[in-house]
Amino acid sequence: MAHLLGLTLLSLFLTSVLIVPFIDFLYRIKLKRQQQKTVDLFNKPTPFFDKFNAWKVGTPFGGGILIILVVSALFLWSFGILDIPVNGWELFVILFTFIGFGVLGLYDDLKKLVNGNSKLPFFGLRFRHKFLLQCILAIIPSVVLYFNLGYSFLFVRGIGQIPIGLLYIPFAAFAIVSFTNAFNIADGLDGLAPGLLLIALVSFLAISYTNVDPALGIFIAILMGSVAAFLYFNVYKARIWLGDVGSMSLGAALAIIGLLTGKVLALVVIGGVFVLEVGSSLIQILGKKFLKRKLLPVAPLHLYFQKRGWDEPKVVMRAWWLGAVFAILGLFLAQIRQ
């Protein structure tokens, strides 16, 4: 455990040192929120979102780029320093998912930089096309998990491992895509998503350590440090945001961490606030598409509480509290002590 904590501190230190000049760099390249009205998946205006987020115009986004660079570099470097055995396929699954979804998120961020001009090459993809790319990116590590790492089961406390065979591939891909979008949706308030992720990572570090998975433990420890450093600059009022490059990368990383521990039920519970966020948005989308009306006053869930008059820091702090409760429950369901 000492080497894991050391890596967390090293990651925290490096990200803290680099983030201020990185913020200045984002200002120079003008990768920051622009003054424009947002629309939902149905190309409808989002007045509530614009109302509560208008003051954030000018804040740079793209902090996920720094997190990906620091974590990936330290993760690979650590295996050259520590005498720890590593499975090459596990390393592939972690880094492919973490970086791959980050690259896809970077596409969205660059699209914002060019103001979504669909006449520019490769910047005219619709949501359905990006969703298809998410599915492809998710299927690749899911196939490796099944065929190369032997994952073909679900773990349920009190029952044990439930074999599901080839169904594991679509199940794992669904989990990755779901948490990618859930994290992206939750990343709408200053400090909300990174704070919830940090709570979840502490839980999964305990799970991976008791499962004797050193490679996964190293990745979680390094990611914890980098996210903690970023969170210092992301709390209200944020100096930097993750951007889609960060939210998609970290959401997919959380999913792959849960899958590699073999405790998918624990993943759903530990990431319970993310599930509530994406669930509320899904209900609203289905209502608009099939019933032609809203089923909720406003979505996602954090926007609903803002509409009721809660200040942004109040929503975030209470979400963190709920996330901590979910994390404790998830640890119990994971049955750390076998």
pLDDT value of residue 118? 46
Amino acid 131: pLDDT: 92
- List the domain boundaries for the chain: 2-334
Model pLDDT for residues 50-94, shown as the tens digit of each residue: 666 666 778 899 999 999 999 999 999 998 787 777 889 999 999
> Which comes out higher in pLDDT, residue 173 or 294?
173
Asked if the model's pLDDT at residue 123 lies above 80, the reply is: no
Element holding 40 (H helix, E strand)? none
Taking 60 as the threshold, does the pLDDT of residue 45 lie above it?
Answer: no
Reported pTM: 0.92
Would the pLDDT of 192 be above 80? yes
216's CB contacts (< 8 A; 6+ apart) are: 90, 94, 208, 257, 260, 261
**210-246: per-residue pLDDT in tens?**
676 889 999 999 999 999 999 999 999 999 999 999 9
Contact (Cβ atoms closer than 8 angstroms) between residue 93 and residue 169: no
Largest CA distance in the chain: 59
Average pLDDT value for residue range 186-190: 93
Has residue 258 got a pLDDT over 70?
yes
Residue 294: pLDDT band with limits 50, 70, 90: confident
CB-neighbour burial class of residue 223 (10 A; exposed 0-12, middle 13-18, buried 19+): buried
Which residues in the chain belong to E strands, given as ranges?
A: 153-156, 160-163
Local structure of residue 122 (DSSP, 8 states)? T
The percent of residues in the chain predicted with pLDDT above 70, rounded, is 87
Give the pLDDT score at 3.
86
Look at 22-31, 35-44, 167-176, 267-276 and tell me which has the smallest mean pLDDT: 35-44
